[in-house]
Amino acid sequence: MTNAVLLCATAGTVRPNDMVARAMFNSGLDVPIEDPSRAVAVVLAVKLALRDIADQNEDFRKTCDAPVYNCDLSQLNVKCATRVSGPMTRALPTMLETYGLDPYEVEALKQSIQELETQLKANNARVAVNFKAPAEYFGLIDRQIDEILAQLPEDAMSSARDLLENGCDLTVPAEQPAELDCRIARAVSQGKRPSGGVS
């Protein structure tokens, strides 16, 4: 899945600020987040990003009319790569090892994310735009994440929530250095456009 994430994230024209935004989420995709609490916080931040992408997909469904589809469909694909699949690739290994998660559920989640990316890339290519299929996967992935989080001890969840909710100043620009979970939360809160799309 790492190669797919990297391919998704490199689409489009690179501007100076794009390199900063891209590095925020996609650097070190092969390096797990070693702190278990921080890894869980990243997954909580991914849930925020997933909801944001789902909302944008629904907005496009209502406003992006066929056959022209005069909207920036690449935004959905790039957001998914940089704010969902990339961070999950880094967070899940530590969670799996630390908390003894069901490996089959983890693998099913990864496959669902990969399928969502495939659908968003197909929409961006405008071969056969379908907003309904991704919408179903947004809901599925969110439920799968909840099922995995339900396997964690309450103290692990409390620690992760504290990191994300109380340890992150959402008014600081998302491009500024911070932990991955905080940067994702800031990007969502501030409505930041990911790199790779049309301005």
* Residue 194: per-residue pLDDT: 75
What pLDDT score was predicted for residue 156? 97
Instruction: From residue 76, give the alpha-carbon distance in Å to each of 59, 72, 195.
Output: 11, 8, 11
Q: What is the pLDDT of residues 160-172, one digit of tens each?
A: 999 999 999 999 9
Burial grade of 18 (CB within 10 A; 0-12, 13-18, 19 or more): middle
Find out whether the peptide bond into 67 is cis, omega within 30 degrees of 0.
yes
Rg (CA), the chain: 16
Low-confidence stretches of the chain (pLDDT < 50) are 1-24, 196-199
Ordered domains of the chain (ranges, CATH): 2-189 (1.20.1420)
Q: Rounding to the nearest 10 degrees, give the CA dihedral for residues 83, 86, 88, 91.
A: -110
The pLDDT assigned to 18 comes to: 40
CB within 8 Å of 126: residues ≥ 6 apart: 69, 73
9 in Cβ contact with 81 (< 8 Å): yes
SS3 7: helix
What pTM, to 2 d.p., does this model score? 0.83
| Number of residues that this document lists for the chain | 199
CB 65 within 8 A of CB 102: no
Name the nearest CA neighbour of 67 among 118, 22, 147, 126.
Answer: 126
* Other Cβ atoms within 10 Å of 92 Cβ, number: 21
The continuous run of DSSP H or E covering 134 comes out as: helix 132-149
pLDDT of residue 2: 38
For 114, residues 6+ apart whose C-beta sits below 8 A from its C-beta are: 1, 4, 85
